[in-house]
Structure 1
Amino acid sequence: MIVELSHRIADGMITYPGVPGPVLGVHLSREDSREVYAQGTEFHIGTITLAANTGTYLDTPHHRYADGPDLSQVPLSKLADLPGLVVEAGDGRAVGLDAFAGLDVRGRAVLVRTGWDRHFGAPAYFTGHPYLAPEAAAWLAGQGAALVGIDSLNIDDTPPRGERPAHTILLAAGIPIVEHLTGLSALPGSGFRFHAAPPMVAGMGTFPVRAYAVIP
C-alpha cells in the first residue's frame, strides 16, 4: 500500500507567513498547440513560479550552510527507500526526548506526528505549532537518524528570530529535514519505507517533494 504524505500545491496557496504563494501559468495552451501539431493532436505546457519552501518540502544542509550539500548533491540513499519510524509527539508544543525513549532511530526516517497538519490552509496553522526541542534534535543526530520529518509549520519554534537549533543541529550532521508532512496517522509505527526525493537542482537548498510511504 502507498500512503500519500504531501500537501497538494495549488495556485496562490500560502505555506509559511511571508513566503509568497506559487503562481501557475501557461506556456503553451491546448488551443495554441493546435497550430503546432498535427490535426487532432494537442498538448498543454504549464509554468510555475514558486518559492522553494512551498507545500511539503525538503531541507538539505545547503539550506543552512553555504558549503553544505545542495539538492543535486544529497544522494538518493538519504532521501528514498528509507526504513520509516513514526514518533507520537504527545502533549505540549515542544517534542522532547521522552517521545523517543527506547527507540532505535539509526538509519531511519524519523517522522514526528503532531497532528498539526489538520490546520493546513487555515490561519491556525501559522501560530502555536509543535516543534522539535533542541535536545531531541541533538539526540537524533547523535543516534544517526537518516532523515527527520514533521507534520507541522516548522521543525523549530517560530516566530522567534535568531537561532534555529533543530535545523542547525540536524543539517550540520547531514540529516535532511522534511517539513509540512501530512497523513502520518495512516502509517504504522514502523515497518514501512519512506520516500521524499526532490529534483536535482544545483545551488538550491530546499524544494517541494512528493513524500510518500510504502507499507508492505
Structure 2
Amino acid sequence: MRRLVELSHRITEGMVTYPGIPGPRLGVHLSREASREVYAPGTEFHIGSIELVANTGTYLDTPYHRYPDGPDLSGVPLEAMADLPGLVVRAEGLRSVGPDLLTGLDVRGKAVLVHTGWDRHFGTEAYLHGHPYLEPEAARWLAEAGPALVGIDTLNIDDTPPRGPRPAHTLLLGAGIPIVEHMTGLAALPDTGFRFHATPPMVAGLGTFPVRAYAVIDA
C-alpha cells in the first residue's frame, strides 16, 4: 500500500511567489466555443495559455540559475530529481538552520528536505519577510556531503536582505545539487522511508521552473 503526499503549491492567476516577481497570467488560446467551428459536431476542446516567470510557485533551481556554464533544465539528469530516497530535517521554530541539525546524517544521494513550517504563511504578507533559511555553514556541509537535491518550505533557501549574498545557492548549485524552494506539506512526511520526485520540463536555456513535487510513502 502506497501513499502519495503533495508537496507543491497550486499556481493560480496573479499569485505572489516572491516580492517583485509578477504573478502568472492565465489565458485561452482556443475556447471550447471557438473549437466547435474547428472540429466535428459534438467535439470540443479547451487550449489554455500561461505567461509566468520561471520562479513561480514551487520550483526547482538548476546550476544554470547561478552559473552560466552549469546544466540547465534540459541538462540536469532525472537521477538528480526523481525517485530519490528522501530525508526530512526538522527545523520548526528556527530562524536559521545550522550544521548542528545535519551533522551525523547520511545524506549522500538523497533528497534532503528542510521542514520549517513556514509554508503555513504562503499567500500572505508574512511569508515574504523574516523567513527561515539555511546558514552558510550548513550549505557548505551539504555541498561536501553530497545529497542529490535539497529542498525547503520557505521563501528562499538563503536569507534575503536586499542585494545580499546567496551562499546556499552558490555552494549547492556550485556542487551540482538542485534546489527546490517554496515547498509545502513536509509535516506529512516521515523523517525517512519515502521516495521524492520533483521534475520540471526539459526547457533549454532556463535555469528554474515550477515542479509538481511529491513523495511516495510505502506503508
Is TM (by shorter chain) over 0.5?
yes
Q: Which residue of 1 aligns with 2:36?
A: 34
Q: 1:196 and 2:190 equivalent? A: no
The CA deviation at 1:50 is: 0.0
CA positional deviation for 1:98:
1.4
CA distance in 2, matches of 1:139, 1:154: 18
Instruction: Measure the CA separation in 2 of the matches of 1:187 and 1:208.
Output: 21
Larger CA deviation: 34-43 vs 89-98: 89-98
1:15-61 CA distance string (max 9 Å, x none) = 00000000000000000000000100000000000000000000000
How far did 1:107 drift? 0.5
User: Which aligned segments of 4 or more residues in structure 1 are displaced greater than 2 angstroms?
Assistant: none
Q: Whole-Å Cα distance in 2 between the matches of residues 201 and 162 of structure 1?
A: 28
Within the alignment, does 1:131 sit opposite 2:152 as a pair? no
Segments of structure 2 that go 5 or more residues without pairing to the other structure are none
In 1, Cα distance between the equivalents of 2:66 and 2:21? Answer: 17
Percent identity between matched residues is 77
Q: Shift of the alpha carbon at 1:92?
A: 2.8
From 45, 53, 75, give the equivalent of 1:73: 75
Classify the secondary structure of the residue corresponding to 1:215. strand
Aligned position for 2:27: 25
Q: Whole-Å Cα distance in 2 between the matches of residues 142 and 91 of structure 1? A: 26
* SS of structure 2 residue aligned to 1:185: helix
Tell me the distance in 2 between the aligned counterparts of 1:206 and 1:189.
27
Match of 2:114, SS state, is: strand
Contact 1:115–1:151 (8 Å) recurs in 2: yes
Residue in structure 2 matching 1:141, options 128, 140, 143:
143
Amino acid at match of 1:49: E
Partners of 1:148 and 1:97 in 2: CA distance = 14
In structure 1, what is the equivalent of residue 210 of structure 2?
208
Amino acid at match of 2:121: H
User: Is the contact made by 1:141 and 1:170 (CA closer than 8 Å) also made in structure 2?
Assistant: yes
* Residues 23-172 of structure 1: pairs in structure 2 closer than 5 A: 23-172=25-174
- The answer to whether the 8 Å contact 1:88/1:114 transfers is yes
Task: Count matched residues.
Answer: 216
1:90–1:183: structure 2 CA closer, same or farther, 3 Å change rule?
closer
Amino acid at match of 2:14: G
Q: Matched residues in 2 for 1:197 and 1:36: separation?
A: 34
Gaps of 5+ in 1: none
Q: CA deviation at 1:90?
A: 4.3
What is the DSSP-based 3-state SS (H/G/I as helix, E as strand, rest coil) of the residue aligned with 1:124?
helix
State the AA in 1 paired with 2:24. P
Q: SS where residue 149 of structure 1 aligns?
A: strand
Q: Deviations over 1:166-194 (max 9, x none)?
A: 00000000000000000000000001000
Q: Residues of 2 paired with 1:103 and 1:189: CA distance?
A: 11
Q: Is the Cα contact below 8 Å between 1:90 and 1:99 reproduced in 2?
A: no
Match of 2:6 among 4, 7, 11: 4
Q: What is the alpha-carbon distance in structure 2 between the residues aligned to residue 163 and residue 31 of structure 1? A: 51
Displacement, 1:207?
A: 0.1
